[in-house]
Amino acid sequence: MTNRTADAFLFFRAWLSAPLRVASVTPSGRALSSLMTTEISADTGTVIELGPGTGVFTEALLNRGVAEENLVLVEYGAEFANQLNDRFPAAKTVRMDAAQLRKLPLHASAPVGAVVSGLPLLSMPLRKVHAILEGAFSHLRPGGAFYQFTYGPRCPIARPLLDRLGLKATYIGWTFANIPPAAVYRISRRRPRSARTHPSESVV
């Protein structure tokens, strides 16, 4: 059994046992991984990944130049966490609920520049999504961003919640090459009212 086949089997088994916690029946594809990490580089600093699963986005982050020791992998599933420990020994793998992210014991050598989320936010209660975002931005440096993908037609984070937390969602792109097709959004802190939005960006 190849690694990719083994990963797909592990992912499917996890989805069967907890369909509301696992975003899909299969791991994300290369096209989505590339889109999710397109704005991230070695200069981003520490990257926190939420729900890395089998490590598809993790591999993409490494390919973008992020040092393995600058990765913090937050995974709730025991099987996934054990596999991540084996595959990425220099990264810090933490087994915890992402809703407790504010309590994450973080001793990073570089400021956190990005949070990459593979979590199924649409299937979560609003209060849990609130806790995840609040926790993520408690660690993110000024100018840092939270990246989220969705299989839905719009941003998976409701506008009232974005308003409450002083955040904005910017559409990054859509890929039909993924199964199922998916869109990616950048969630960031809002600028002062006097700051102008770049005309090429679509802000929610």
Instruction: Tell me the average pLDDT across 97-126.
Output: 93
Q: Tokens 């090429």: give the residue.
A: 200
The rounded mean pLDDT for the chain is: 86
Condensed to tens digits (0 to 9), the pLDDT of residues 177-197 reads: 888 899 999 999 998 765 455
Summarize pLDDT for 151-177 with one digit per residue, the tens: 989 999 999 999 999 999 999 999 998
Q: How far apart are CA 118 and CA 58, in angstroms?
A: 11
41 sits in the region (left: phi over 0; alpha: psi -120 to 50; else beta) called beta
d(Cα 198, Cα 47) in Å, to the nearest integer? Answer: 25
Q: What three-state secondary structure class fits 169?
A: strand
One-letter amino acid for residue 65 of the chain: G
Q: Residue 116: pLDDT above 90?
A: yes
Note the pLDDT of residue 171.
97
Under a CB-based contact definition with an 8 Å cutoff, are residues 175 and 31 in contact?
yes
